[in-house]
Amino acid sequence: MNHDPGEVARGVAARWPDSLCVGCTTMGEIGPLGLTQGGISALALPPPARAAAVFADSRVGFADGERLAEALAGALGHIPAALDPERHVLVTLTDGLSGAEERLVAALGLVLPRVQLIGGSAGDDFRMQRTWVHLNGEARPGAAVVTLLEPGLPMSAFAVHHYQPGERRVVVTAAEPSRRRVLELDGWPAREVMAELLEVPVETLAAHPELPAERELAFAYAIGDDLFLRSVMHVDGDALVMGGAVEEGVVLRVVHGGDLVEATRAGVQEALARLPGAPGGMLLFSCGGRLRAAQRKKQVEALYEAMAQAPMAGFSTYGEQFGPLQINQTLTGLAIGRP
């Protein structure tokens, strides 16, 4: 985070005073110069595109979803029930250090179940100190911005990851969802189960708490044929610190990282193919864990090329939102067509 958030917010709003301007701090940018850090990336939509946006508390409750939906829909002359999933999409920029993104997207999903939602959690270049979002010249730390977008163009929301399901499933038998900690799996200390899955001594995880992420071993919710990822950020004592809340009693699928570059290429290609014509651009939110994996594998340029199948803007995140879910290790995005 090499720029003053307030200065950027005010500068952008001053440069485009007649436009709705939203943004956030990041873990790196996605744009025409590649997967960069320390820069600024932006996407602009011309008329007839319309949008409305509001600040939201990062720890919003379910009761606040209706208020947010009414404010956003009302600003575009609609009631929430009249929003069209073919014409409207929600875009969330959230505090990546709040540990509460799940509440926001679940609250919105409860009120607007048919409206597509994509988003990303703001970052601070992995300093893990403070993230910022901004709206029309005002920057706020520890907050979220929710935008209701009506692009006036064909669009398709998508989510892509490179993880493959294994045979093993585990039951979460003890957890602290509010702290995103899993304490027990199948009745055993979570660290012991993770050591077994990684085929390493338990002591190894104490010395290398980020080994699950480095080995690309994670968990996922299976909904039909789709997997929604819950990555292990690190091991803390006997607990696993997760990239999102996990409830007790949930059954998780063990998943393993596959071909990051090829999965990204295929997923983006499929998303663009769903548009009725040529793509105009993409708004992208890519997990910072994907960037770190590409850096470890010396695949940053290859990952960028896999994504760059149309003009694009976005950022590397501290977490991704897709529909009513907070997920990890995923590229979420909005493919936008041409008139």
Q: Give pLDDT, residue 9.
A: 94
Residue 149 has a pLDDT of: 98
Looking at residue 187, its pLDDT comes to: 98
Structure tokens, 152 = 């006036």
The predicted model gives 11-36 an average pLDDT of 96
pLDDT confidence of residue 59: 74
Mean pLDDT, all residues of the chain: 95
Mean pLDDT for 60-80 is 92
Q: What is the pLDDT of residues 164-204, one digit of tens each?
A: 999 999 999 999 999 999 999 999 999 999 999 999 999 99
Mean predicted confidence (pLDDT) in 154-163: 97
Read off the pLDDT of residues 214-252 as tens digits, 9 standing for 90 and up: 999 999 999 888 999 999 999 999 999 999 999 999 999
Q: How many Cα neighbours within 13 Å face the side chain of 318?
A: 25
Per cent of the chain over pLDDT 70 is: 100
Q: How many residues does the chain have?
A: 339
Going by C-beta distance under 8 Å and a sequence separation of 6 or more, which residues neighbour residue 39? 29, 31, 33
Alpha helices in the chain (DSSP H): 5-15, 64-75, 101-111, 190-198, 202-207, 211-214, 260-273, 288-296, 300-307
Asked whether 58 and 95 are in contact (CB, 8 A), the reply is yes
pLDDT digits (tens, 9 = 90+) for 245-301: 999 999 999 999 999 999 999 999 999 999 999 999 999 999 999 999 999 999 999
Q: Name which of 313, 262, 320 is nearest 286 in CA terms.
A: 320
Instruction: Give the integer Cα–Cα distance in Å for 158 and 177.
Output: 26
C-alpha dihedral sign at 51, 56, 58, 60: negative
Statement: residue 53 has pLDDT above 80: yes
Residue-level pLDDT at 283: 99
Q: Does the pLDDT at position 46 exceed 80?
A: yes
d(CA 319, CA 92): 11
pLDDT at 61: 74
In this predicted structure, what is the pLDDT of residue 112? Answer: 96
Q: In the predicted model, is pLDDT for residue 57 greater than 90?
A: no
Residue 63 has pLDDT above 80, yes or no: no
pLDDT at 1: 63
What are the residues facing 332 on neighbouring strands? 159, 285
Prediction pTM value: 0.95
Cα–Cα distance for residue pair 324/179, rounded to 1 Å: 19
Bridge partners of residue 239, in order along the sequence: 236
Mean pLDDT along residues 321-332: 96
pLDDT of residue 192: 98
Provide the H-helix boundaries in 141-258.
Answer: 190-198, 202-207, 211-214
